[in-house]
Each structure stands twice: as C-alpha cells, then as structure tokens.
Structure 1
Amino acid sequence: MARPVWSGTLTFGLVSLPIQMYPATDSHTVRFHQLQRGTSDRVRNKRVNERTGEEVPLDEVVKAYDDGDEYVLVEPQELDDIAPGRSKSLEITGFVELAEVEPVFFDRTYYLGPKGKEYAKVYALLHKALEEAGRAGIATFVMRNHQYLVAVKAEAGLLTLHTLHWADEIRDPRQEIDDLPGRTKVTDRELKMARQLVDTLGMEWRPEEFRDTYQEQVNALIKAKRTGEAVEKAEPPAESTNVVDLMDALRASVDRAKKPSGSAGKAPSGGAKGGGGKKRGSDAPAPPTRISDAAAKRRGRGAGKGAAKGKCGTGPASLDTLTKAELYQRATDAGLPGRSAMNRAELIEALRGTHRRRASS
C-alpha cells in the first residue's frame, strides 16, 4: 500500500476536509547502477567541497542564491515559514469547466483520500458535487518547497488531484518551432482521403492494450547478455512520406485498414466497415504497424514465392525469419486477438497455433 506524500486540509468556501495525497502512478523504468569500466566498482555521487575536495555531511549543506556579488544563504526552516498556509492548506479558489483546461497544462496525478472515516461524508459530498457539475476545483498548495497549481476532480468514485503547469511555463510553439506550417494548401481529395483514414482507424480507448515494449526490450537485453544469447535489433524507422506520393500513401493506408481479418474474409464484430468510422472491437484489426522499405521488399518477395508454390507462407519454419513488424501484420491478417500486447516470441507462437489449427481442419 502506498504511503501518503502529503497531508493537509482541503477547503472550499467555509468547508474544511482533512485529506491525504497518494501517488497515482508508478514508473517501471529499468534502473541501472554506474560502474567503472573494467571493474565491478560502483560509482557514486558525493557532496564534495569544491575548494577542499572533502565530502560534506548533509546536515552541513545550506541553500544559497547567487545574486552576482555574493551568496544569499537561506535555511530550510525559513522557506517553511514563508510557505502559504504553512504548507498544510489546499484552498479551492474556484471551479472551472473541465473542457476549459487544455491538456498541455496537466502534469502529474495524485489520489486524494479522507484523513479518517469521520470525514467520509464531506469527502463524498465534494465528490458528488464535482461529478454532477462537471467542474474541477482550482487550488494552490505547497509541497517540498514548491508551490503547485492544481485541479481537483471527481473521477472513478474518488477525488483526484492533478498538478498543473503555471501559465508562464507553457512555451509558445510558434517561437519554439521554426518550420511550423502556415496556411498550407491541401486539396479536397487529399483531405477527404485523410479523413477517411482517420474514420476507418477509429478505435476505443483501451489503455490496458498498450505496453511499454521498450522496457521489455531492455529487460530482454539484460537477460540475453546474462545468458550469452543473441540480441535482436529493432526495426529501422520508417522513411518520410514523399509529398508527391501522398495520395498513393493515403489510399494504400485506407485499403489496408479496410482489409477484413480471418481466413473466411469476414469483417470482425465491431470492426471498421468501409469508411464509416465505426469503432473496432477488441479482436478487430489494430492500427497498421509501420514497416520499413526493406521489410516491405522482403514481404513482397515472400508473397511471390508463396503464390508460386501455392502456400500461405505462414508455416512454422518461415516465421522465425520474419521481423516483429511482419509478424504483427500476419497476426492482423489472421485476426489474432490480443496481438497488440504480444512480443515477438508470443506472436510466433500464436501464429504457429493458427497454422496448426488450419492444418488439422
């Protein structure tokens, strides 16, 4: 069970609610130690006096601001003394429509819980009021020597707190990006085809179907280096679409997205039919995976050979030679459920199972 990272009092109007704040997310980033090359010696960071070279204990370290002429020393207690509400107050100053807060302002998310069962009624009252109003409470509070602008929302049966960026922290994209397109002209045919592609690839938001595959590859790399196995390299990035071939690329994308799954050639339940933009079911074709030109050429050669010999080209032996992108495309063509969450080995095993079932039927 997570420990609260902050506790204090949430106030709205004259109503006070003692709360505790818990982290809502957890990072699964692989952590590495630093070693000196050629040894097993850990490399650690130390607080060192740059004049004497000696290590300085933490309790002897003070904060200092360089004003150009000299250092202005600030003690931690002095920062606590000037904190609004002495760091223990979260006062809602007003309630805004949720749609008014642009996504770029949101930073981190926390769960809020009542600090004791005796405050359950006040907690439930605020949750219900926010839920029915469709609004978020805007407040500020101080945590660990930082003041935060936050939005308090009612979500999934509890109160959540989202830290927000301050307005002057949001960068102007027109000043940051040199080559933003201005009034670029697109033809009606290009726009119609692009809209059709967007509608055809319509999907329901299911975050559980997406995984951090890079961290999985990092873990696989560590395992392979431990056991001395070969390491599979990632696919090279797809090349940029040539503007001259834009319509051809759009048309091919729409055609591939419309392609029904399964050997019987029937569209899956809830799948996209034509350009109607219906949402796909969990077993419908996933968005097409980008494939490099080299992989596309290999697939084209393989398809030609398979057609000449009258084989499907998905036999157990041939699967080991395919890239993950090619395996994923075959899984899409076969309508394999859950393929978006599979790694390369799982895709091979699932496709082999499909091949065995077809061979026995």
Structure 2
Amino acid sequence: MRSIWKGALTFGLVNVPVKVYSATEDHDVPLHQVHAADGGRIRYQRICEIDGEVVPYADIDKAYDDGERTVVLTKEDLASLPAERSREIEVVEFVPSEQIDLLTLDRAYYLEPDSSSPKAYVLLRKTLEQTDRTAIVRFSLRQKTRLAALRVRGDVLVLQTLLWADEVREASFPALETEVKISDKELDLSASLVESFSGDFDPAEYTDAYQAELRTLIEAKLDKGDALDTSETFGEAEGADSGGEVIDLMEALRASVERSRAARGASGDKGSAGSGSGDGGSAKKKAAPKKTKKAS
C-alpha cells in the first residue's frame, strides 16, 4: 500500500505522527464504453467551449458562478486556505462507540505510526479499547473538511469519515405513520425464523456473485466470441417475479421456519452422522440460508 497523506493525530498536548492509507479498494471488473455498431472506443475529452481545444488536466482550474458573476479559483488559491494547509487530525471529543450512527459512516483509512517509537500510537489505541470510546476527529483532505470516527480494528487505528448531519436525509414514509398491530404469534414465528437463520458472521464466506458471473461471461466471450449461447453458460433465465402477489404473513412465516429447519437438519445430518447430538448438540449453528461461495 502507498500512503495518501501524512499528518499528526493531536489530542490535548499529545501528538501522534501518522501515515494515512486507503483501507478499501474496488474489486469490480474494469469496463469501458464502445460504439455498438463497430466496437470503437468511446472517449471523453475536456473541450474548452471558447477555443474548442482539448485542455490538459494541468491547465484546468475551478470556478464558482453565482448566476451573474464568475470567479476562478486557481490551485494556488485553494492551497492557501488555512484548513488545506493543516496537517493535523484533531480529536474534538471522545464519545461512547454505540452513539455512532452506522448510516453516517463513509470512507475508511488505516493509520500507521510515522515515528521511530509507536508508543503514543499504541497508548491511544489501548485507551480507546479500554474505555470503549470512539474519537471524533476533524481534518482536511483533498480540498474538503472531514469529520471522522477514529476507532480500533485489531492492532490498527482506523479513521472512518462521517457524513455531515445535513448530508443524511430524513426518512418519512406515509405507510409507517399508520398504526400496525403485530400479534404475539406473528412475533414468535418471526423470532423463530431469525433463530433458524442465526450464525456468526464471517465476511470471507461471501463473494460478489455479479462480478464472478461477469468474469465468467467475459471468459466465455473471449473463448467463443459472438457465437456464445448464454443459456449454455448460465442456464435458462427464470420466470419473472409475480411482484404484487398478496401473501398470508402467518403462513409465509410458518413455511419459512419449516424450510429453514429442514435445510439445517439436512446439513447437520451430513456433517455429524452417527454423533447422536441431535438438534441441541451444538450451542452455535451455521446459518441455514445458502451463501454465495467464492468462485474457484
């Protein structure tokens, strides 16, 4: 990995030099646009509307237009802003971790200690772990002021940017404004269904099915070209979903619980034949629903 930013975590008089790395990456198959008629590559160019010339990135500035006047902001103008010049990740407060709304979490970054002694880094990490607190920090990155949550992941401090309060939309749906009555029986069946699907989450057990299928399609197209019959590769397409069908909620819950239990039982029979453990032989059971396993 290559660091994208260097600075220092500051809280009180404590200064922790750090390097910042992107914690995530895109795994999508890279595609580009072509002309359907002849396969020619479609390219986008930056054309100046005054002289009609293609403009290189190095010669592009930004501008603000209020409808009557336009002001051009050069790279030097933007770099002169005090917030942009700052290399500090300032801790503004420590909050209980459960107060962080998952909806507000955005991009994640790893922080690496950038000094000969990582003592201050380790001290902050252990303090966050011991107090079960998350640090709310403020910093500037790529011409934006960011608010972020500083938390612990294993032995590493992770910086996860937060959406600003006015960037999160309020949810207001008329259907939820009317009173809905849920019977105890419905709630019990629903809880049973949840229990039948329960398990310990392991992200490594899941993979992106669409990207795996896309890679399969690309390999098949490379092998057979336009003569490819997709039904031979993926099978016939299933019929369209009926969509608006009205169902009996209780009957759907019962059927779902029974099917999940049957699937779990069949899986248990294969994995523990002759063990005599029965349904209650294990306190933890793997999730019953099928998981999309990694493509080989």
TM-score of the pair, normalised by structure 1: 0.72
Task: Please report how far the alpha carbon of residue 38 of structure 1 lies from its aligned counterpart in structure 2 after TM superposition.
Answer: 3.3
Paired residues, number: 285
Q: Matched residues in 2 for 1:147 and 1:342: separation?
A: 38
Cα deviation digits, residues 153-203 of structure 1 (max 9, x gap): 1220111110100011110011xx454463212222212111111122111
CA contact (8 A) 1:194 1:250 kept: yes
Supply the distance in 1 between the matched residues of 2:188 and 2:35 (Cα, whole angstroms).
58
Residue in structure 1 matched with residue 28 of structure 2 by the alignment: 29
Q: How far apart, CA to CA, are the structure 1 residues paired with 2:192 and 2:12?
A: 50
Distance apart, 1:258 and its partner CA? 1.2
Which residue, out of 264, 281, 284, partners 1:279? 284
> Which amino acid is 2:146 matched to?
Y
Q: 1:264 to 1:62 in 2, by over 3 A?
A: closer
Shift of 1:130: 0.7
Matched residue, 1:105: 104
Alignment of 1:1-361 (within 5 A): 2-84=1-83, 86-116=85-115, 118-174=116-172, 177=173, 179-180=175-176, 182-228=178-224, 229-231=228-230, 232=234, 235=238, 238-240=241-243, 242-259=245-262, 260-262=265-267, 273=279, 279-281=284-286, 286-287=288-289, 340-341=292-293
User: Quick one: distance in 1 between partners of 2:58 and 2:269?
Assistant: 72
Name the SS for the 2:159 alignment partner.
Answer: strand
Give how far 1:131 is off. 0.8
Shift in Å, 1:235: 4.3
Measured in 2, the distance between the counterparts of 1:265 and 1:160 equals: 41
* Matching residue of 1:330: none
2-structure distance, mates of 1:57, 1:263: 63
Q: Kindly tell me: are residues 143 and 265 of structure 1, through their superposed partners in 2, closer, same or farther at Cα, counting changes over 3 Å?
A: closer
1:267: Cα distance to partner?
7.1
Superposed CA offset, 1:266-322 (max 9, x none)? 8789x9948xx95324xxx631x6xxxxxxxxxxxxxxxxxxxxxxxxxxxxxxxxx
Structure 1 counterpart of 2:75, which letter? Answer: P
Identity of aligned residues (%): 35
Q: Structure 1 residue 32: deviation in Å? A: 0.9
Structure 1 segments (4+ residues) deviating >6 Å: 265-269
**Counterpart secondary structure, 2:256:** helix
Deviation at 1:75, TM superposition (A): 1.4
What CA distance in whole angstroms lies between the structure 2 residues aligned with 1:211 and 1:105? 24
Contact kept, 8 Å, 2:209 with 2:292, in 1: the verdict is: no
Shift of 1:46: 1.1
Q: Separation in 2 of the partners of 1:197 and 1:254?
A: 5
Q: 1:119 to 1:207 in 2, by over 3 A?
A: same
Contact conserved, 2:4 with 2:22, CA < 8 A, in 1? yes
Aligned residue for 1:303?
Answer: none
Q: Partners of 2:65 and 2:223 in 1: how far apart?
A: 52
Q: Comparing both chains, which one has the higher relative contact order based on Cα–Cα distances under 8 Å and sequence gaps of 6 or more?
A: 2
Q: SS at the partner of 2:33?
A: coil
CA shift at 1:36, angstroms?
A: 2.4
Gaps in structure 2 of 5+ consecutive residues: none
Deviates more, 1:195-204 or 1:81-90: 81-90
How far is the alpha carbon of 1:59 from its aligned partner?
Answer: 2.8
Cα distance change, pair 158–17 in 1 and its aligned pair in 2 (3 A)? same
Query: Is the 2:206–2:294 contact (alpha carbons within 8 Å) kept by the matching residues of 1?
Result: no
TM-superposed deviation, 1:83: 3.8
For 2:119 and 2:268, the matched residues in 1 are separated by 57
Shift of 1:86: 1.5
Supply the distance in 2 between the matched residues of 1:14 and 1:85 (Cα, whole angstroms): 22
Alpha-carbon shift at residue 73 of structure 1 (Å): 1.3
| Structure 1: segments with no counterpart, 5+ residues | 290-338, 347-361
Displacement of 1:146 in angstroms is 1.1
Instruction: State the AA in 1 paired with 2:218.
Output: I
Q: Could you tell me how far apart the structure 2 residues matched to 1:193 and 1:61 are?
A: 61
Instruction: Give the match's secondary structure for 2:6.
Output: strand
Give distance in 2, aligned partners of 1:178 and 1:272: 47
SS of aligned partner of 1:173: coil
Equivalent residues of 1:18, 1:119 under 8 A apart = no
1:242/1:83 CA distance change after superposition, 3 Å: farther
The verdict on how the C-alpha distance between 1:96 and 1:154 changes in structure 2, with shifts beyond 3 A counting, is same
